[in-house]
Structure 1
Amino acid sequence: MRTVEQASSARLSLRANFSWTFAGNIVFAACQWGMLIVLAKIGSPELVGQFALASAITVPVLMLTNMQLRDIQATDARREYPFKDYLGLRLLTTMLALLFIAGTVLVLGYRGETALVIMTFGLFKAAEAISDIVFGLLQQHERMDRVAQSLIIKGLLSLIALGSVVYLTGSLFLGVLGLAVAWLAVIVLFDLRSLALILGDTVPTGARIPRPRWHRPNLLALTRLALPMGLVMMLISLATSIPRFFVGRYLGEHTLGIFAALTYLQVAGMTVVSALGQSALPRLSQHYAAGNRAAFRGLLLRMAAIGLVLGGGGVLVALVAGRLLLELIYQPEYAAYADFFVWVMVAAGITYLSWLLGEGMKAARYLRVQVVLFGVQVIVLTILCIWLIPVYGLVGVAIMMVVAALIHLIGTLLILARATAALPVGPVSEASYKEQTRP
Structure 2
Amino acid sequence: MKHINPVKPLSLQQNISWSLLGNAVYSVCQWGILMVLAKRGSALMVGQFALSLAITAPVYMFSNLQLRVVQATDARNQYAFGHYLGLRVLTVTASLLIIGLIIMAGDYQGNTAWVILWVGLAKGFESFSDIVFGLLQKHECMNRVAVSLLFKGPLTLLVVVLALWTTGSIVAAVMGLALVWLLLLLGYDLVNARQFSRIQPVLELRKLRPLILISLPLGVVMMFISLNTNIPRYFIEGKIGTEELGYFAALTYVTVAGAVMIDALERSAAPRLAKYYSGGLFKDFRALLLKLVLSGLALGVAGLVVVLLFGPKILTILYQPGYAAYAHVFALIMVGSGLGYMASFFGCAMTAARCFKIQPFLHALIVLVSVLSSAVLIPLKGLEGAAYVLIITMSLQLAGSFLISGYLLRRAARQPEGTSIDGQREGSCEPV
Please give the TM-score of this superposition, normalised by the length of structure 1. 0.85
1:205 corresponds to: none
1:343-362 superposed matches below 5 A: 343-362=332-351
Distance 1:313 1:8, change over 3 A: same
The range that moved more, 46-55 or 242-251, is: 242-251
How far 1:128 moved relative to its partner?
0.8
Q: Which runs of 5+ in 1 are unaligned?
A: 203-208
Q: 1:33 is aligned with what amino acid?
A: W
2:357 corresponds to: 368
Asked if 1:315 is matched to 2:311, the reply is no
Mapped to 2, the partners of 1:17 and 1:319 lie a distance apart of 33
Identical aligned residues as a percent: 42
Mapped to 2, the partners of 1:279 and 1:213 lie a distance apart of 27
Mapped to 1, the partners of 2:189 and 2:277 lie a distance apart of 38
SS at match of 1:336: helix
2:215 corresponds to: 226
Mapped to 1, the partners of 2:181 and 2:15 lie a distance apart of 23
Mapped to 2, the partners of 1:190 and 1:280 lie a distance apart of 24
1:154-169 superposed matches below 5 A: 154-169=152-167
The range that moved more, 180-189 or 54-63, is: 180-189
1:8-47 superposed matches below 5 A: 8-14=5-11, 17-47=15-45
> 8 Å contact 2:85–2:202 — kept in the other structure?
yes
> 8 Å contact 1:340–1:398 — kept in the other structure?
yes
Distance 1:314 1:74, change over 3 A: closer
> 8 Å contact 1:284–1:299 — kept in the other structure?
no
Distance 1:359 1:128, change over 3 A: closer
Which structure's residues are more often helix, by fraction? 1
Q: Which runs of 5+ in 2 are unaligned?
A: 424-428
Per-residue CA deviation, residues 346-386 of structure 1 (Å, 9 max, x unaligned), is 21222223334445545665432222221111111112112
Per-residue CA deviation, residues 133-184 of structure 1 (Å, 9 max, x unaligned), is 3334444555544332222212111111112112221111111011111111
Mapped to 2, the partners of 1:306 and 1:76 lie a distance apart of 26
The range that moved more, 39-48 or 385-394, is: 385-394
Mapped to 2, the partners of 1:84 and 1:428 lie a distance apart of 36
Asked if 1:261 is matched to 2:246, the reply is no
Mapped to 2, the partners of 1:345 and 1:225 lie a distance apart of 34
> 8 Å contact 1:244–1:256 — kept in the other structure?
yes
Mapped to 2, the partners of 1:195 and 1:36 lie a distance apart of 31
1:12-91 superposed matches below 5 A: 12-14=9-11, 17-75=15-73, 81-91=79-89
Q: 2:91 is aligned with what amino acid?
A: T
> 8 Å contact 1:423–1:433 — kept in the other structure?
no
> 8 Å contact 2:43–2:247 — kept in the other structure?
yes
Per-residue CA deviation, residues 391-431 of structure 1 (Å, 9 max, x unaligned), is 32123212212211221222233334444544659x95456
Q: 1:14 is aligned with what amino acid?
A: S
Distance 1:254 1:186, change over 3 A: same
The range that moved more, 168-177 or 390-399, is: 390-399
Q: 1:346 is aligned with what amino acid?
A: V
Mapped to 2, the partners of 1:250 and 1:307 lie a distance apart of 33
Mapped to 1, the partners of 2:420 and 2:216 lie a distance apart of 33
1:90-101 superposed matches below 5 A: 90-101=88-99
Mapped to 2, the partners of 1:387 and 1:113 lie a distance apart of 31
Q: Tell me the matched-pair count.
A: 424
Mapped to 2, the partners of 1:172 and 1:23 lie a distance apart of 28
How far 1:297 moved relative to its partner?
6.9
Q: 2:397 is aligned with what amino acid?
A: H
Which of 115, 118, 121 is matched with 1:117 structurally? 115
How far 1:318 moved relative to its partner?
1.9
Structure possessing the higher radius of gyration over alpha carbons = 1
Give the superposed CA RMSD: 3.3
> 8 Å contact 1:12–1:142 — kept in the other structure?
yes
1:185-264 superposed matches below 5 A: 185-198=183-196, 210=200, 212-264=201-253
The range that moved more, 65-74 or 16-25, is: 16-25
1:391 corresponds to: 380
How far 1:335 moved relative to its partner?
0.8
Asked if 1:272 is matched to 2:261, the reply is yes
Q: 1:9 is aligned with what amino acid?
A: P
1:182 corresponds to: 180
Mapped to 2, the partners of 1:303 and 1:86 lie a distance apart of 28
Q: 2:6 is aligned with what amino acid?
A: S
1:107 corresponds to: 105
> 8 Å contact 2:296–2:341 — kept in the other structure?
yes
> 8 Å contact 1:81–1:218 — kept in the other structure?
no
SS at match of 1:8: coil
How far 1:69 moved relative to its partner?
2.6
Distance 1:275 1:193, change over 3 A: closer
2:2 corresponds to: 2
SS at match of 2:241: helix
SS at match of 2:2: coil
> 8 Å contact 1:113–1:173 — kept in the other structure?
yes
Distance 1:405 1:82, change over 3 A: closer
Distance 1:153 1:250, change over 3 A: same
Mapped to 1, the partners of 2:183 and 2:43 lie a distance apart of 30
